Chain A
């Protein structure tokens, strides 16, 4: 069965970076784009970007350009999302999601809470 398992919660100081992992299993990792979506406390979903696990090609939301980097390691079927220069308003749950087709997120990770606090 398809599973996306994310790394555990993180607490970071403002200005630091965080790297969240998403390990995929149960399907061919390189066959589907992986997207990253975040949700601030009590707020809605926000699309951050996506990576093509086959080529490594990425697309990022304009809001995060220059601060976000998405990578993958095909040998261990894992996608990564690194966000730098963290601010308090980056406090959120970060999700990875497999894209079956265009904007069709059929499987989601369990979410990773990133708390940014001094």
Chain B
């Protein structure tokens, strides 16, 4: 099972919106509504930001939103803030022999 494909880096200015894509196949992202997104600051454990494609856990800012179209899921961060600078990973359930897979990761830079 190959990792889901994410852009290596995305950047934006404070206040802008950015979108991170997560591309898989019909055996993972496209086949199930089990896509989640994680934020990871350097030296820290990942933090859950979105689950089941578009649900936000309590305590996570509503500036973070998730969606899916076909085999590609997306995480949008609106009103970009300095604290949003981090690595972001998507994850999905898959029908392969390895049932869970992460994306390659995206480094978000706030200019």
Which residues on A are within 8 Å of B, measured CB to CB? Answer: 35, 37, 44-47, 50, 59, 61-63, 95, 97, 100-106, 108-111
Count class of interface residues, chain B: 20 to 34
Task: Sort A-B residue pairs by CB-CB distance and give the 6 closest, nearest first.
Answer: A108-B45, A104-B51, A44-B105, A45-B102, A102-B34, A47-B100
Q: At the interface, yes or no: B1 with Cβ under 8 Å from chain A?
A: yes
B46-A62 in contact (CB<8A): no
Chain B residues with CB below 8 A from A106, complex form:
48, 51, 57
Can you list 9 A-B pairs with a CB-CB distance of less than 8 A? A35-B100, A45-B40, A45-B102, A45-B105, A47-B98, A61-B98, A102-B34, A104-B36, A111-B45
CA A61 to CA B1, docked complex, whole Å: 9
Interface residues of B in 23-79 (CB under 8 A from A): 32, 34-36, 38, 40, 45-48, 51-52, 57
* Contact with B38, one of A59, A63, A101, A105 (Cβ below 8 angstroms): A105
CA A63 to CA B101, docked complex, whole Å: 12
- What 1/0 flags go to B85-108 for Cβ under 8 Å of A? 000010111000111111111000
In the complex, number of A-B residue pairs with CB atoms less than 8 Å apart: 67
Which residues on B are within 8 Å of A, measured CB to CB? Answer: 1, 3, 32, 34-36, 38, 40, 45-48, 51-52, 57, 89, 91-93, 97-105
